[in-house]
Each structure stands twice: as C-alpha cells, then as structure tokens.
C-alpha cells in the first residue's frame, strides 16, 4: 500500500471541481472578476495538480503535448481571427460592433466571449507547455 493514498483520493475529488471552477470564472467574466487568462491558469492548475499527484507521464497521457500545442495555436488563431474579421467588416482591430451581427449589443457580447475563449485556450496551453518542459527535464 502506498503512503500517498490520501493525496490521491483527495486529488481525484478536487480536480474536477477545480476545472469546473475555471470554466465558471471564464463564463462569468462579464459579471464578476475573471476572464480567459484567470480561467486558463485555473484549468492548467487542475492538470498540474494531477501531474504532481499521479506523475508527469500519466498527465501527458490525459492531456498530450500535441493537445497542449494545439490549444496554444487555436487560442492565438481565435484572437487573431476575430480581429481580422472586424477589420474586414470596416471596424478597428477588435471593434466588436463591426462583427456581422444585426444587434450591436449581441455583437459586442459574442466578440468578447470568443476572444475570452481564445485567451482561455492559449493560456491553458502555454502554462501546461511551460510545466511539461520544466517537469520533463532530467536532473
């Protein structure tokens, strides 16, 4: 019997709640403090806690390096893409009112939510890439 049984059981209980809290922070950013960056760090912290308790190889099996790289790229592309779309429709970069949606209020909300999704993906990917790089080094 391993000595870290309590840590493993507690981690298995906490990690899903940590991840859900990260998404809560993300989706309530318009009404309370938080947003894509904070949510990305919290979601990455859930994976890092998993890696610390169960091992780096197990964490890389759950969230592979390829997925981490994809998160960073897709997040940046979403951010860049929304800005380019607003340019193409005659607005300034990230001028959400230029998005091709009839109601300006809805276009503002959709633009912000999409940007925050991109930031969430990019930050989660970046934090995990940094962790994987440092944790995977030999001594």
SS3 of the chain: the string is CCCCHHHHHHHHHHHHHHHHHHHHHHHCCCCCCCCHHHHHHHHHHHHHHHHHHHCHHHHHHHCCHHHHHHHHHHHHHHHHHHHHHHHHCCCCCCCHHHCCCCCHHHHHHHHHHHHHHHHHHHHHHHHHHHHHHHHCCCC
Could you read off the pLDDT of 105-134 as tens digits, one per residue? 888 888 888 888 999 999 999 999 999 999
CA dihedral 91→25→77→101, nearest 10 degrees, is -40
Maximum separation of any 2 CA atoms in the chain, in Å:
65
| Distance (Å, whole) CA 135 – CA 34 | 28
- What is the reported pLDDT for 91? 87
Q: What is the pLDDT of residue 138?
A: 66
Mind listing the pLDDT tens digit for each residue in 8-29? 999 999 999 999 999 898 888 7
Nearest to 123 by CA among 47, 49, 54, 60: 47
pLDDT of residue 4: 81
pTM value? Answer: 0.88
């Amino acid at each position: 019997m391993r000595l870290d049984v309590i840590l493993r059981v507690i981690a298995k209980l906490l990690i899903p709640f940590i991840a859900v809290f990260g998404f809560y922070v993300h989706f309530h950013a318009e009404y309370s403090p938080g947003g894509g960056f904070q949510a990305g760090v919290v979601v990455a912290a859930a994976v890092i806690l998993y890696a610390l308790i169960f091992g780096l190889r197990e964490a890389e099996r759950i969230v592979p390096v390829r997925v981490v790289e994809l998160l960073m790229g897709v997040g940046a592309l979403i951010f860049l893409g929304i800005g380019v779309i607003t340019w193409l429709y005659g607005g300034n970069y990230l001028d959400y009112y230029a998005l091709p949606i009839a109601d300006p209020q809805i276009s503002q909300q959709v633009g912000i939510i999409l940007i925050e999704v991109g930031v969430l993906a990019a930050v989660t990917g970046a934090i995990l890439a940094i962790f994987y790089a440092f944790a995977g080094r030999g001594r």
